[in-house]
Structure 1
């Protein structure tokens, strides 16, 4: 039950980081004014939920899949697995649902230490200041403070797995395009810089792995085509012969395990 609660907390928190402006441009010190409504006691907790609170909750649920995709290792996993399927030439086997499920399980496996660190960083605040219901009037302030407590482990993960060149590029781009009021407080470790840097870094790494995956299967296709052409069997599709050879190769070297192991070990 504790692991299930941890997973739910982690993915909900990722979605909140995705939609809240405070999470995108974090400041060094937390705003003490956000804690004022919580100090008023049960009166603030029992307030009726306002329209903005309801909209924020609905938006968080709607954007949760995108947050899981962009703020975890899911993006790289699903791209590499899709490229592996295309290299095999098996069309829809395994299906998209299976690839997404495998990528999600691998992302949970990779992100578990980060999720545990985020949970531990905000555990005491959650236990001492949790509102009676998430639809109460003080929920917005509570969520912002939880995000402020739990942001550092996620920021460290994004920083470790981001290419420095990409991070510098997006920092320079943000510095040129942002107003002067934001430039003086802009840092390379802000979420507004880290998020696009991390996404592009993951895509680059995924396609680098895809090139390595495609090479042996390309050789099989090339050799099969030349052999059939030399034998005069031009009416026979090379894919008919190459596909069993590809499947035999992936089974002999335990290719799925090698790909999964390589992807997991690629994260720091």
Structure 2
């Protein structure tokens, strides 16, 4: 008896489902335009959703590349390399630690680049958020202050070398400016070259102290004493008395004024 009720219930459910499918397939001719409009609206909504998904993907990609972008279009590489060479010259391997060196370099970079950031925000980011500029135009407006900053610091020789090394010849921009694909790597290479030049000058006083200490130890017959251990207190005291961190940081910042 229970099996009979179960089969009856299943039969009724199947008949109801078939009736619903048949009714759904019977579309009156007068309903065709409404169905078409609904389909068009669904397609338009799907297109808008796809556009938002692509925009979100691009935004996440840009945010993930933000540290690399900051290294490529700002003075952060210059600051970081000079401060690292300065710590190496003093002879302290872990003081200040790497995190502190990077933090100081980042804030010095912000101090130098603040006018550029403000100009890029006013010219491109704010109009983009307000909807008055398209993404393409806003990108050009945002990059214009950075382009001016890089043009003022880039080595023309680096641009020429990279242009000659390009395997595929591309069209020059209408305004005659250097393409970003050439300007950015040339700027980074120029900053690295300039950082090593400044680092060499920073290392000279410490090199003199090392030579003096090594000569004195050799004259005293202390051949087995490492000169680096003896010269370290003298280098640190010299650096402290000259207020080295403030002096070097101020010189680095003034180099961009």
Identify which of 110, 113, 130 aligns with 2:112: 110
Residue 238 of structure 2 is matched in structure 1 by 249
Residue 187 of structure 2 is matched in structure 1 by 198
Q: Is structure 2 residue 90 aligned with structure 1 residue 98?
A: no
Identify which of 108, 123, 139 aligns with 1:121: 123
Residue 155 of structure 1 is matched in structure 2 by 147
Alpha-carbon contact 1:80-1:209 (below 8 Å) kept: yes
Residue 82 of structure 2 is matched in structure 1 by 80
Residue 220 of structure 2 is matched in structure 1 by 231
For normalisation by structure 1, the TM-score amounts to 0.72
Alpha-carbon contact 1:171-1:193 (below 8 Å) kept: yes
CA RMSD of aligned residues (A): 2.3
Q: Secondary structure at the match of 2:233?
A: helix
Residue 168 of structure 2 is matched in structure 1 by 178
Structure 1 position 124, deviation (Å):
5.6
Aligned-partner Cα distance in 1 for 2:164–2:63: 32
Structure 1 position 168, deviation (Å):
2.4
Aligned-partner Cα distance in 2 for 1:152–1:57: 20
Structure 1 position 267, deviation (Å):
1.5
Alpha-carbon contact 1:77-1:263 (below 8 Å) kept: yes
Larger CA Rg, structure 1 vs 2: 2
Once the two structures are superposed, the pairs formed by residues 4-19 of structure 1 within 5 Å of their partners are: none
Aligned-partner Cα distance in 2 for 1:67–1:216: 35
Are the structure 2 counterparts of residues 129 and 102 from structure 1 closer, same or farther at C-alpha, using a change threshold of 3 Å? same
Deviates more, 1:225-234 or 1:143-152: 143-152
Structure 1: tracts of 5 or more residues without a match: 1-42, 131-140
Structure 2: tracts of 5 or more residues without a match: 1-43
Structure 1 position 142, deviation (Å):
4.5
Q: Deviations over 1:150-171 (max 9, x none)?
A: 2211110010011122122223
Corresponding pairs, count: 211
Are the structure 2 counterparts of residues 49 and 258 from structure 1 closer, same or farther at C-alpha, using a change threshold of 3 Å? farther
